[in-house]
Amino acid sequence: MSKKIAFVSNTSWSLWNFRLSLMRALKEKGYEIMAIAPEDEYSEKLKKGFVFYGVKNLNRKGKNPIRDFKLFLEYLGLYRKIRPDLVINFTIKPNIYSSIAAGFLKIPCMSVVTGLGYVFIERGFIASVVEALYRFAFKFNRFIVFQNRTDFQELKDIVKDKAFIIPGSGVDTEYFSPFFCKDYFKETQSFVFLYIGRFLRDKGIFELIFASERLYKEGKDFCVILLGKEDEGNPASLSKEDLEKIKSYPFVKVFSFTEDVRPYLCSSDCVVLPSSYREGLPRTLLEAMAMEKPIITTEAPGCRDVCEDGKNGFLVKPKDVESLYLAMKKMLELPEGEREKMGKEGRRLVQEKFSEEIVIERYLKLIEKILGTSYKSCKDLR
């Protein structure tokens, strides 16, 4: 009988968008893969390839301890019923409550810290509570995976020798390839800055608009494309009114999120993520780099891990309009050959450090170590 591995996250979308390749790789190796997440528009996609279980009590932005305790009980009842051989958790609430539930039933589990999130941007009471919950939950984990070294340093006294750093979820460098753009016709001759992501204040949307406004007043020929959507329930999400105001700027174009971002990447000259948010490892920047686009991002955790300042893009200070303005102006004024050189350097970095093959192989080693199929010591895993 094949061993059962449960992938647990706070949305079906995140499993489909970030974990699909790993899930498919494990299925090809003969494991039975189960997806566990709240129902959303991506649940049906997951059901076509894997066993799917929907959870009802996961409110990813909620702070109600009664609701969270019900989530723990829901995981407990589900795992008692389906008895997975391994539970792999992603995002904060599954990392905590799913780990505890698996631990109570003596089911092996591991957690992936995909970013410490907005509660750790400004240390406060909530961050202390989350840290205390992590301290308890991680006792039940065989391994804890971090996507960047800064997040590991934040929790290293909790995770001790269980921690591994695996850079992101991996990028398919054949799918995200500059060759896709070979015959692509760019509709505008203006320089295009592209932002891809949720429309959150913490992602630096307003800083991007204010820096761009300065460039516009200087008569620079450019436009800013915002590709994404609001994040309802997130306290940092832009309101409908915010978005309408942003749309009124003559240099801004807003498009709704799409599964295939490659045409937008082809039409861009530079991808910008001015985040103050604690990113795990920003997938959008890695995808842009894979397609040989230079980037501008901040020194925030996760963002700085993918940008070598002056080589494949520019690093700026978080929440600093002046710093972002200067970097955008510098990028805009660079000779095309210099930007192309930056883009090629970005793709080289992705191929060497962040490719799907590299990331999946490292996860497979950890999983097979837990399940007792390969790899004799933790030293072999690092």
| Percentage of the residues of the chain whose pLDDT score is greater than 90 | 75
- Give bridge partners of residue 330 from the DSSP assignment: none
Q: Which domains does the chain have, with CATH numbers?
A: 4-170+355-381 (3.40.50.2000), 178-353 (3.40.50.2000)
| Cβ–Cβ under 8 Å, residues 160 and 191 | no
- 190's CB contacts (< 8 A; 6+ apart) are 221, 222, 223
- pLDDT range class, residue 1, cuts 50, 70, 90: confident
Helix axes 321-333, 205-217, angle to 10 degrees: 50
The mean pLDDT of 289-308, rounded to a whole number, is 95
134 versus 7: the higher-pLDDT residue is: 7
Q: Is the pLDDT of residue 151 over 90?
A: no
pLDDT at position 179 is: 94
Please state, in angstroms and rounded to a whole number, the distance separating the CA atoms of residues 102 and 109: 7
pLDDT digits 0-9 by tens, 183-195: 787 777 899 999 9
- 171's CB contacts (< 8 A; 6+ apart) are 283, 286, 287, 290, 350, 354, 355, 356
Distance in angstroms between the alpha carbons of the first and the last residue of the chain: 30
Cα 243 to Cα 48, 61, 202, 206, 257: the distances in Å are 35, 21, 15, 10, 14
Q: Is the pLDDT of residue 122 over 70?
A: no
Residue by residue, what is the 3-state secondary structure of the chain? CCCEEEEECCCHHHHHHHHHHHHHHHHHCCCEEEEEECCCCCHHHHHCCCEEEECCCCCCCCCCHHHHHHHHHHHHHHHHHHCCCEEEEECHHHHHHHHHHHHHCCCCEEEEECCCCHHHCCCCHHHHHHHHHHHHHHHHCCEEEECCHHHHHHHHHHHHHHEEECCCCCECCCCCCHHHHCCCCCCCCCEEEEEEEECEHHHCHHHHHHHHHHHHHCCCCEEEEEEEECCCCCCCECCHHHHHHHHCCCCEEEEECCCCCHHHHHHCCEEEECCCCCCCCCHHHHHHHHCCCCEEEECCCCCCCCCCECCCEEEECCCCHHHHHHHHHHHHHCCHHHHHHHHHHHHHHHHHHHEHHHHHHHHHHHHHHHCCCCCCCHHHHC
Structure tokens at 353: 């450090």
Q: Strand 270-273 vs strand 295-298: parallel, antiparallel, or unpaired?
A: parallel
pLDDT digits 0-9 by tens, 157-182: 888 789 999 998 999 999 999 999 98
Neighbours of 125 (CB within 10 A): 8
pLDDT at position 128 is: 78
The answer to which of 14-23, 207-216, 229-238 has the lowest mean pLDDT is 229-238
| Cβ–Cβ under 8 Å, residues 307 and 343 | no
pLDDT at position 11 is: 94
The b-or-e profile of 173-184 (16+ CB within 10 A means b, else e) is: beebebebbeee
Cα 310 to Cα 90, 159, 167, 315: the distances in Å are 33, 34, 21, 8
Q: Is the pLDDT of residue 377 over 60?
A: no
Q: Is the pLDDT of residue 118 over 90?
A: no
Sign of torsion over alpha carbons 171, 278, 229, 95: positive
- By C-alpha distance, which of 315, 316, 322, 313 is closest to 340? 313
Sheet holding 222-229, edge to edge: 252-256, 222-229, 191-198, 270-273, 295-298, 313-316
The mean pLDDT of 201-206, rounded to a whole number, is 93
| Percentage of the residues of the chain whose pLDDT score is greater than 70 | 94
The answer to which of 26-30, 184-188, 200-204, 237-241 has the lowest mean pLDDT is 184-188
- pTM (2 d.p.): 0.88
Neighbours of 154 (CB within 10 A): 20
